[in-house]
């Protein structure tokens, strides 16, 4: 597959608590991305500190840490051509009030404190973040019959 990438997606605790796992998974599936890893788990403080290491000194970090570890979230790895950008575009801008209609954050959210989803912002971030939540053996290699009509 040309330019195939893998990227980490989180359905954050607000999404799980609001019963939005199904609708949000559908957004990525209907886009054509292939799920290669999938878990429901509460993110630990250690995982959060590693994942958001670039933000640990920021004023919002304590609130982010409290939020992201507050309950179960879904961790996904999705694969496809240009998957990193496709996921970021599907998610929308960080602030839901500035996200374009049709994106997840705009369609389901209002404030940055509850912005529902995460997507890795580049190739290096994707490989770092995938490794925080998944072992190599937990990522599944398979071919979908429908790929012949998508990629
Ligand atoms: P991103 O998730 O779109 O990549 P980042 O700027 O990398 O956005 O921030 C990571 C996450 O930290 C955001 O998705 C959001 O959950 C949280 N966050 C960022 N800035 C703020 C803020 O000012 N207040 C509260 N939470 C924030
Ligand atoms: Mg980011």
Average pLDDT over residues 7-16: 99
98 lines ligand 1 (CB under 6 A): no
Task: Tell me what the pLDDT averaged over the chain comes to.
Answer: 97
Whole-structure pTM over 0.85, yes or no?
A: yes
Q: How confident is the model at residue 1 (pLDDT cuts 50, 70, 90)?
A: low
The pLDDT assigned to 3 comes to 74
Q: CB of 37 within 8 A of CB of 75?
A: yes
Which residue puts its alpha carbon closest to atom 3 of ligand 1? 94
Q: What is the pLDDT of residues 50-102, one digit of tens each?
A: 999 999 999 999 999 999 999 999 999 999 999 999 999 999 999 999 999 99
Angle between helices 21-31 and 83-91 (to 10 degrees): 140
55 among known catalytic residues: no
């Amino acid at each position: 597959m040309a330019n195939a990438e893998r990227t980490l997606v989180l359905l954050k605790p607000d999404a799980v608590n609001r019963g939005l796992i199904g609708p949000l998974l559908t957004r990525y599936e209907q886009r054509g991305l292939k799920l290669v890893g999938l878990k429901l788990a509460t993110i630990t403080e250690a995982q959060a500190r590693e994942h958001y290491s670039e933000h640990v000194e920021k004023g919002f970090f304590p609130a982010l840490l409290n939020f992201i570890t507050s309950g179960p979230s879904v961790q996904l790895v999705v694969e496809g051509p240009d998957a990193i950008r496709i996921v970021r575009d599907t998610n929308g801008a960080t602030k839901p009030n500035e996200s374009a209609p049709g994106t997840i954050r705009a369609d389901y959210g209002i404030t940055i404190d509850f912005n529902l989803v995460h997507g890795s912002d580049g190739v290096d971030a994707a490989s770092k973040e995938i490794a925080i939540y998944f072992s190599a053996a937990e990522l599944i290699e398979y071919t979908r019959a429908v790929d012949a009509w998508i990629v």
